[in-house]
Structure 1
Amino acid sequence: MATTQLQPMTLPAPADAESWLDAKAAEGLAAAGDIATRLKTTEQLSALEALELWNDMSLATSDVAALASTFSEMHPIEAVRDRGEQAIQDISKFWTELSLDAEMYAVFERLSADGVDEQADRLLEKILLDFRRSGVDKDDTTRARLQEISERMVKVGQEFAKNTRDDVRSIQLTAQQFDGLPQDWIDTHDAAADGRITVTTDYPDLIPFMTFGRDAAARRELRIASLNRGWPVNDPLLQELFALRREYAGIVGYDTWADYNAETKMIGTGPAIAEFIDKIAAAAAESGERDRAVLIERMRQDRPDAETIDGADVPYYSELVRKESFDVDAQQVRTYFDFAKVRAGLLEVTGQLFGLTYRPADDAVVWHEDVTAYDVYDRDSDERIGRIYLDLHPRDGKFKHAAQFTMASGITDRQLPEGTLACNFGRGLMEHSDVVTLFHEFGHLVHHIVAGRTPWQRFSGVATEWDFVEAPSQMLEEWAWDADVLRTFATNADGEPIPAELVEKMRRADDFGKGYDARTQMFYASMSYDFHVREVPDLTERTRELQTKYSLFPYIEGTHMPASFGHLDGYSSGYYTYMWSLVIAKDMFSAFDPENLLEPGVARRYRDAVLAPGGTKDAADLVEDFLGRPYSFEAFAAWLDR
Structure 2
Amino acid sequence: MSGNPFFETWDTPFAAPPFAAIAPEHFGPAFDRAIADHQAEIDAIADGTGEPGFDDVVGALERAGRSLRRVGGVFWNLAGADTDDSLQEIERNMSPVLARHWQKIGLDPKLFARVDALHARRDALDLTAEQRRLLDLTHAGFVRGGARLGEAERRRLSEIAERLARLGTSFGQNVLHDEKDFLLVLDGEADLAGLPPSLRDAAAQAAAERGLPGRHAITLGRSLIEPFLRFSTRRDLRETAFAGFASRGEHAGEHDNRPIVAEMVRLRAECAALLGFASYAHYKLDDTMAKTPEAVRGLLDRVWERARAKAARDEEALQEVVRQEGQNFALQPHDWRHYAEKVRRRDYDLDESEIKAYLVLDNVAAAAFDTATRLFGLTFAPRDDVPVYHADVKAFDVRDRDGRHMALFYADYFARPSKRSGAWNSGFRGQHNMDGGEQRPIVVNVMNFAKGGEGEPTLLSVDDARTLFHEFGHALHSMLTDVTYPSLAGTGVSRDFVEFPSQLYEHWLMRPEVLKRFALHHATGEPIPDALLERLQAARNFSQGFQTVEYCASAIVDMAFHTLTADEARSGVDPALVEAGTLEAIGMPKPIVMRHRTPHFAHVFAGDGYSAGYYSYLWSEMLDADGFGAFEENGIFDADTAEKLRANVLAAGNLRPPEEAYLAFRGRLPSVDTLLARRGLA
Which bin holds the TM-score, normalised by the shorter protein?
over 0.9
1:578 partnered with 2:617: yes
2:340 aligns with: 318
Offset at residue 15 of structure 1 (A): 5.6
1:29 partnered with 2:41: no
C-alpha separation between the residues in 2 aligned to 1:407 and 1:440?
19
Aligned to 2:79, which of 54, 72, 84? Answer: 72
Contact 2:554/2:596 (8 A) holds in 1: no
The residue correspondences of 1:435-450 to structure 2 (distance < 5 A) are 435-450=465-480
Letter in 1 for 2:495: W
1:465 partnered with 2:494: yes
2:548 aligns with: 518
Unaligned runs of 5+ in 1: 1-5
Instruction: Find the residue that maps to 2:520 and give its secondary structure.
Output: coil
Aligned to 2:195, which of 148, 164, 181? Answer: 181
Offset at residue 332 of structure 1 (A): 0.7
Offset at residue 43 of structure 1 (A): 1.5
1:364 aligns with: 386
Contact 1:485/1:597 (8 A) holds in 2: no
Offset at residue 103 of structure 1 (A): 1.2
Deviates more, 1:317-326 or 1:349-358: 349-358
2:654 aligns with: 615
C-alpha separation between the residues in 2 aligned to 1:159 and 1:295?
39
Q: Residue by residue, what CA displacement relative to the aligned partner does 1:287-346 show, whole Å, maximum 9, x if unpaired?
A: 333333322222332355345x34211211221111110111111111111222222232
The residue correspondences of 1:594-633 to structure 2 (distance < 5 A) are 596-633=635-672
Change (3 A) 1:88 1:459: farther
Letter in 1 for 2:429: A
Unaligned runs of 5+ in 2: 1-11, 452-457
Instruction: Find the residue that maps to 1:438 and give its secondary structure.
Output: helix
Aligned to 1:266, which of 276, 279, 289? Answer: 289
1:236 partnered with 2:240: no
Letter in 1 for 2:184: I
Change (3 A) 1:297 1:594: farther
Instruction: Find the residue that maps to 1:583 and give its secondary structure.
Output: helix
Instruction: Find the residue that maps to 1:264 and give its secondary structure.
Output: coil
Change (3 A) 1:522 1:383: same
Offset at residue 484 of structure 1 (A): 1.8
Structure 1 consecutive aligned stretches of length 4 or more whose deviation exceeds 6 Å:
191-196
Contact 1:342/1:435 (8 A) holds in 2: yes
Instruction: Find the residue that maps to 1:491 and give its secondary structure.
Output: coil
1:108 aligns with: 115
Contact 2:553/2:588 (8 A) holds in 1: no
C-alpha separation between the residues in 1 aligned to 2:335 and 2:465?
23
2:424 aligns with: 403
C-alpha separation between the residues in 1 aligned to 2:634 and 2:535?
17
Change (3 A) 1:622 1:202: same
Change (3 A) 1:139 1:489: same
2:536 aligns with: 506
Q: Residue by residue, what CA displacement relative to the aligned partner does 1:374-419 show, whole Å, maximum 9, x if unpaired?
A: 111012x101011111111111121211011121110112311112
Change (3 A) 1:16 1:106: same
Deviates more, 1:149-158 or 1:357-366: 357-366
Instruction: Find the residue that maps to 2:497 and give its secondary structure.
Output: coil
The residue correspondences of 1:113-512 to structure 2 (distance < 5 A) are 113=122, 114-168=125-179, 169-174=182-187, 175-190=189-204, 197-232=216-251, 233-307=256-330, 309-379=331-401, 381-412=402-433, 413-427=437-451, 428-451=458-481, 453-492=482-521, 493-512=523-542
C-alpha separation between the residues in 2 aligned to 1:80 and 1:390?
21
Letter in 1 for 2:191: Q
C-alpha separation between the residues in 2 aligned to 1:424 and 1:91?
28
C-alpha separation between the residues in 1 aligned to 2:75 and 2:596?
30
Identity %: 26
C-alpha separation between the residues in 2 aligned to 1:208 and 1:24?
43
1:12 aligns with: 18
Letter in 2 for 1:100: L
Q: Residue by residue, what CA displacement relative to the aligned partner does 1:442-479 show, whole Å, maximum 9, x if unpaired?
A: 1111111111x211111111011111111211111111
Letter in 2 for 1:623: Y
2:53 aligns with: 46
Offset at residue 93 of structure 1 (A): 2.1
1:3 aligns with: none
C-alpha separation between the residues in 2 aligned to 1:60 and 1:119?
25
Change (3 A) 1:85 1:460: farther
2:3 aligns with: none
Contact 1:328/1:505 (8 A) holds in 2: yes
Change (3 A) 1:288 1:556: closer
Contact 1:584/1:631 (8 A) holds in 2: yes
Offset at residue 119 of structure 1 (A): 1.4
Change (3 A) 1:24 1:303: farther
C-alpha separation between the residues in 2 aligned to 1:326 and 1:527?
34
Given the two structures, how large is their TM-score scaled by the length of structure 2? 0.88
Offset at residue 556 of structure 1 (A): 7.9
C-alpha separation between the residues in 2 aligned to 1:195 and 1:430?
23
Letter in 2 for 1:11: P
C-alpha separation between the residues in 2 aligned to 1:598 and 1:560?
35
Letter in 2 for 1:392: Y
C-alpha separation between the residues in 1 aligned to 2:624 and 2:596?
32
Change (3 A) 1:330 1:107: same
Instruction: Find the residue that maps to 1:240 and give its secondary structure.
Output: helix
Instruction: Find the residue that maps to 1:590 and give its secondary structure.
Output: helix
Q: Residue by residue, what CA displacement relative to the aligned partner does 1:548-586 show, whole Å, maximum 9, x if unpaired?
A: 4446531689x9931112112231111111111111110
Q: Residue by residue, what CA displacement relative to the aligned partner does 1:158-211 show, whole Å, maximum 9, x if unpaired?
A: 110111122221224332122111113224445899997532212232021011
Instruction: Find the residue that maps to 2:631 and give its secondary structure.
Output: coil
Change (3 A) 1:560 1:287: closer
Letter in 2 for 1:402: A
Instruction: Find the residue that maps to 2:644 and give its secondary structure.
Output: helix
Change (3 A) 1:143 1:119: same
Change (3 A) 1:137 1:595: closer
C-alpha separation between the residues in 2 aligned to 1:199 and 1:551?
32
Change (3 A) 1:373 1:465: same
C-alpha separation between the residues in 1 aligned to 2:596 and 2:677?
35
C-alpha separation between the residues in 1 aligned to 2:266 and 2:591?
25
C-alpha separation between the residues in 1 aligned to 2:196 and 2:83?
30
Offset at residue 614 of structure 1 (A): 0.6
Deviates more, 1:8-17 or 1:226-235: 8-17
C-alpha separation between the residues in 2 aligned to 1:477 and 1:433?
10
Offset at residue 250 of structure 1 (A): 0.9
Contact 2:383/2:395 (8 A) holds in 1: yes
Deviates more, 1:560-569 or 1:188-197: 188-197
Note the aligned Cα RMSD (angstroms): 2.6
C-alpha separation between the residues in 1 aligned to 2:639 and 2:555?
35
Offset at residue 597 of structure 1 (A): 2.8
Instruction: Find the residue that maps to 2:449 and give its secondary structure.
Output: coil
Instruction: Find the residue that maps to 1:592 and give its secondary structure.
Output: helix
Deviates more, 1:94-103 or 1:190-199: 190-199
Change (3 A) 1:303 1:437: farther
C-alpha separation between the residues in 2 aligned to 1:540 and 1:555?
18
C-alpha separation between the residues in 1 aligned to 2:349 and 2:587?
27
